[in-house]
Structure 1
């Protein structure tokens, strides 16, 4: 028995030696390089590939079936002049004996210097089109009626051949190593161009139904806009049976990006989690997502379904507190100069994620931005058109913190001029100042026109309290829609100091000079509180009601005022003109006609009124008022004049009428008698608008005419009295009393 075993062993040894010897002889006497032309023709015929083998083909037969290809080039047969790939080295080997059991046991697969060159021309033709298609048309055209071979009814389905054919193929690879690979993509049709260079890919052992460790690294470069990046990836790949599910467990992605979009600053990016992709369901899921971009840290989970059609995305996202200003500045976002240097210093967010391939919305959002808590939805509703969507509600928001600091140069110069003019008019008897010469409006560009043209937005905000231009607006609502350079403010409304207002506007940024149309109404707004909030001197009080339709053009404060056109009606009820001593102004006129000296203390400090109303017709920044009416107890004021909004100067003519009350005033020089009733006492107002009624004086020139008219009336009265007395003496006891009274009436007695 031992001898038989030795014989069998010897025979096996001899057989092995014969196989090895045959393999050695085959590798020695058979050179695959002699068949390069045949290989090229087969590649061209069956795969539509133009194959160029410049290097030597090395091979081995036993115990490893090894193959090594160097210096190869591949192109589509349709575009042979545009190489699809070049290869410096491809080396692989397979154990021979396991092949007999339909097992592929491979050692390391090594790929060095692989360069993929993906090109698409202006017509959309790619250099990889039609690769893999057979060029052999003979089978389908030369003998189309050739019948298929008849099946052998006596075929033994249990034969070893069939069993081998039905045995599943088993694959085992020690590792895959790709060194120094690169990918170039150039799309002349879209203008996109990017490079992936210095690609390194290594894997652990690849076994069926076993996880595979994968590492990848490379450098990314994009041409337009210029962008550079480094990317590193490490994960464990699990492939489920039937290749339906791919799992990337403990995925760790890290990299750094810099370039023009980031203003040549850099963003360090890292992401971790577990990623699953199901090919049958066309769905993907990313659990335990941890994302960081510089100092921004986020957690969440994402799911995607219908990836082959509409791609629905859902999930949740949470961003930890971050200094948003520092983060945005760090990734190259140029923030405008804001009034509050601490604006955007704090942000945190929790939201649900909902989206498609063309949209991404954060819903049920809870956003804390500085001191304001927001709820609502925000995102992009249409990537193709860039439609920004934001429907938010906030508690208390100070918009002034985020607006550009106001330019105070012109305002400061003008305030100094007005202050000097105010001091000159303090006595109430000095000459009126001229209109200011300094403009309060700046000449700096206000609106970023290029950016506004690019905005496509649907914005709807509401606040419990909104601070805008130092005004605290309760229950504020703001709705804006923008598309193709036209911005429509549907409404800005709210409650202001227990009054209410509403504004609507439209801005056309496409015009050579941007045009602005505006309508507004207000009701019962205390004007003195508006002036106080704007840090202006309170020169008038009362509840303001307005209605206006205005239009202008330009992009500076000065342009807007200079080109202002439209109409405005106003009514100010239950008000006061502080320091506007209209009673004294009236007394000065009466004292002048009475030829008496008015005491210095005559008159009150303020002038109350029941209503001040009128309308303004505005042309090129000058508002003409034809019908000013002021109702003051015992007095009535009517007037007309202009307000030059370009310099905020007024020039008015007004008339004061004494109504009903003819009781002597405190100063005897200001005694009102029946002769002064219904006389229109002339008042001239001129100077800075801020002075209000302080810039008003009795018009001495017009007063002289009134004095002449009164003197003429008085002379006529005395003359009539003398004639009447003489007539009375002559008619005494000569005519009846009735006739005598009639004759006297002819002379005004």
Structure 2
């Protein structure tokens, strides 16, 4: 038995020596470099590849089937002179015996100096598209015989089983990929590719580390990226995971205006093809100052992908962040705006839409909640329903230029106000002539023409143009270049504003329609400006229907047409004493001088109202009426909205109760009761009633009438009963004309 064992051992040793000897003989006596032409022909026939082997082929047989390729190039057989890939070295080795069991056990796979040059020509065809397509069989080649019923095609279980992989490691060094599109001129490249992995075994965690530099030419961008993680895959279950994923890098280029964006992404990535699900969980994102957390999930990958998840962005300085990535904000009235931004929302979406549901957005000292989304990317279908606590819009508007036309005009108005004096005894102010409105474009017309909008916004308070609106409700929609403001409602200064409007962007210039109703709105805050007191107080009721066209303040006012009615109740003309104006007129008729300048006093009134017919920016008011205690005021004139000027003729009638005049020179007697005392009001609207002066032409007519009345009294006194009543009346009429 002992001799038999020794004999068996010697036999096995002899067989091993024989195998080693055969392997040595094959690797040393058989040179694969002698078969380069056959290898090239095989690549051409089976894969439509033009393979050029400039370097030596090194190989080993047992126990590793090893192969090394040096200095090789690849091209499509259709364009053999235009290689799309070249390779410095490819080295790999496979254990021989496991191959018989459909197992691939490999040592390190090494790739050195791989360059891929991918080109899409003017016709949109890529230089790689023919690769992998076998050459067409010749007509003489017989088709393989179909299996007969007596000889059925059989596939063993081993043939159906997937090949098991067992690779010690994979390394790719100094690889590069270039892509160019001749039609668009775009270029994309990835260079300095370095890939390192641990042992690659199915069902096990595989350490992966990848680094590369990315670049594009439209726009010019460059980024450095590193990726690390643990890869696990199961081909039978079609399940792939990248756990402990860490992606980081830096980007710079034209869009960043010379600035640098430093970014990092962490999370757990899962792709389950059997369940048609992809997930990114435990998401942590940073980009300069921005920090975000979230979860993302995509279902139905191959049919109709559906996105769901959540995203939250921690509070950060949005202004500093945008400046840091080369996107400086335009100047704002308040330079401290956009310094606090915070966001949280659930996400939903499809291939053509995205939605932010249950959204909470904090911007500076404002908070918004609601839903925001784009329901169709192709039509820019924007949908939003937001509720906010407060918003000071003035802080976000551009600062007012010191030399703007509006500022210059207001300075001129202030000079006119100072020259007008408190008593209104100076000369009649001149009509303003400077345009009061900007001709800069207001609306982004092309953007609005393409807008598909459905919006609803409510705000607890809104500050705009230095005015505070409360309980603001806005509902708007836009489609096919028509934007409709279905409702705008707000409470303001103990009154309310209701309006609706439409902007038709189809014609050039665009056309606007506006209907508004204002109820019991205090007018004083709207008329006061630049430290000057408002010329009027009271509560305004207004109904207006207006149309205009254009895309600037000036164009809107120049083309303004429509009708309106207004009533100001329980009001006061500030620093405008109509009694003093009336006193001056009476003193003139009494041929007396006033004892002194009247002190500036307000003139209260019960009602002031009328109607407006607006034509091309000029509002005609034919029926101005005001009720002042003891006086009735009638008037007519124009409001030139283009220059914010007015020109009115006003008549003041002393009622029967005869108000007490402030000066002896203008004491009222019964002859003055019922007469219409004329005033002329002309100048900037900001002056209000302080722009009113005695109408010298009109006072002359009053004097003539009073003289006629006086002469009639003397005729009556002289003639007595000696003349018939008919003759008396004829004589009185003659002098009263």
Say which SS state the counterpart of residue 222 (structure 1) adopts: strand
2:412 maps to 417
CA shift for structure 1 position 363: 0.8
The equivalent position to 2:467 in structure 1, one of 458, 466, 471, is 471
Distance 1:666 1:164 in 2: 120
CA shift for structure 1 position 517: 4.6
Distance 1:217 1:538 in 2: 69
Distance change in 2, residues 1:12/1:602 (3 Å)? closer
CA shift for structure 1 position 654: 1.6
Say which SS state the counterpart of residue 404 (structure 1) adopts: coil
Distance change in 2, residues 1:162/1:512 (3 Å)? closer
Distance 1:303 1:485 in 2: 36
Distance change in 2, residues 1:329/1:451 (3 Å)? farther
Determine if the alignment matches structure 1 residue 216 to structure 2 residue 210.
Answer: yes
Distance 2:560 2:589 in 1: 43
Determine if the alignment matches structure 1 residue 52 to structure 2 residue 46.
Answer: no
CA shift for structure 1 position 74: 2.7
2:346 maps to 352
Distance 1:502 1:415 in 2: 29
1:523 maps to 519
Answer whether contact 1:398 1:467 (CA < 8 A) is retained: yes
1:721 maps to 717
Mapping 1:584-733, distance limit 5 Å: 584-600=580-596, 605-662=601-658, 665=661, 667=663, 669-727=665-723
Distance 1:34 1:78 in 2: 26
Mapping 1:95-244, distance limit 5 Å: 95-137=95-137, 146-148=145-147, 151=150, 169-188=163-182, 192-240=186-234, 242-244=236-238
Answer whether contact 1:73 1:83 (CA < 8 A) is retained: yes
Distance 1:570 1:6 in 2: 125
Distance change in 2, residues 1:512/1:69 (3 Å)? farther
1:541 maps to 537
Distance 2:565 2:673 in 1: 30
2:5 maps to 5
Could you list the per-position Cα deviations for residues 98-148 of structure 1 after superposition, in whole angstroms to 9, with x for gaps in the alignment? 334443221111112222333334444333335333334469x96569442
Distance 1:394 1:698 in 2: 53
CA shift for structure 1 position 343: 0.8
Could you list the per-position Cα deviations for residues 55-74 of structure 1 after superposition, in whole angstroms to 9, with x for gaps in the alignment? 33222222221111223333
Answer whether contact 2:340 2:363 (CA < 8 A) is retained: yes
Moved more, 349-358 or 635-644: 635-644
CA shift for structure 1 position 718: 1.9
CA shift for structure 1 position 605: 2.0
Distance 1:223 1:6 in 2: 75
Answer whether contact 1:663 1:673 (CA < 8 A) is retained: no
Determine if the alignment matches structure 1 residue 403 to structure 2 residue 397.
Answer: yes
Distance 1:407 1:482 in 2: 33
CA shift for structure 1 position 77: 3.8
The equivalent position to 2:272 in structure 1, one of 274, 278, 283, is 278
Distance change in 2, residues 1:724/1:199 (3 Å)? same
Answer whether contact 2:527 2:686 (CA < 8 A) is retained: no
CA shift for structure 1 position 201: 0.9
Could you list the per-position Cα deviations for residues 194-249 of structure 1 after superposition, in whole angstroms to 9, with x for gaps in the alignment? 21111111110112321111111111112212221111100101112505110111
CA RMSD of aligned residues (A): 3.3
Answer whether contact 1:235 1:251 (CA < 8 A) is retained: yes
Determine if the alignment matches structure 1 residue 308 to structure 2 residue 302.
Answer: yes
Answer whether contact 1:598 1:669 (CA < 8 A) is retained: yes
Determine if the alignment matches structure 1 residue 318 to structure 2 residue 312.
Answer: yes
Distance 2:568 2:558 in 1: 26
1:369 maps to 363
2:430 maps to 434
Mapping 1:444-593, distance limit 5 Å: 446=442, 457-481=453-477, 488-506=484-502, 516-532=512-528, 535-552=531-548, 557-593=553-589
The equivalent position to 2:290 in structure 1, one of 296, 301, 325, is 296
1:730 maps to none
| Structure 1: gaps of 5 or more residues | 728-739
CA shift for structure 1 position 445: 5.5
2:384 maps to 390
Distance change in 2, residues 1:533/1:381 (3 Å)? farther
CA shift for structure 1 position 451: 6.2
CA shift for structure 1 position 514: 6.2
Moved more, 242-251 or 573-582: 573-582
Distance 1:265 1:498 in 2: 50
Answer whether contact 2:496 2:521 (CA < 8 A) is retained: yes
Distance 1:484 1:180 in 2: 53
Aligned residue pairs total 731
Distance change in 2, residues 1:551/1:329 (3 Å)? farther
Answer whether contact 1:417 1:436 (CA < 8 A) is retained: no
- With structure 2 as the length reference, what TM-score do the two structures score? 0.90
Say which SS state the counterpart of residue 684 (structure 1) adopts: strand
Distance 1:746 1:485 in 2: 72
1:267 maps to 261
Distance change in 2, residues 1:95/1:633 (3 Å)? same
Answer whether contact 2:379 2:451 (CA < 8 A) is retained: no
Distance 2:52 2:612 in 1: 86
Answer whether contact 2:413 2:684 (CA < 8 A) is retained: yes
1:29 maps to 29
Answer whether contact 1:209 1:241 (CA < 8 A) is retained: no
CA shift for structure 1 position 457: 4.7
| Structure 2: gaps of 5 or more residues | none
Distance 2:189 2:126 in 1: 17
Could you list the per-position Cα deviations for residues 289-326 of structure 1 after superposition, in whole angstroms to 9, with x for gaps in the alignment? 11111111111211110111221111111211111111
Distance 2:581 2:222 in 1: 77
The equivalent position to 1:339 in structure 2, one of 333, 341, 345, is 333
Distance change in 2, residues 1:147/1:294 (3 Å)? closer
Could you list the per-position Cα deviations for residues 174-203 of structure 1 after superposition, in whole angstroms to 9, with x for gaps in the alignment? 101111222223345666532111111111
- With structure 1 as the length reference, what TM-score do the two structures score? 0.89
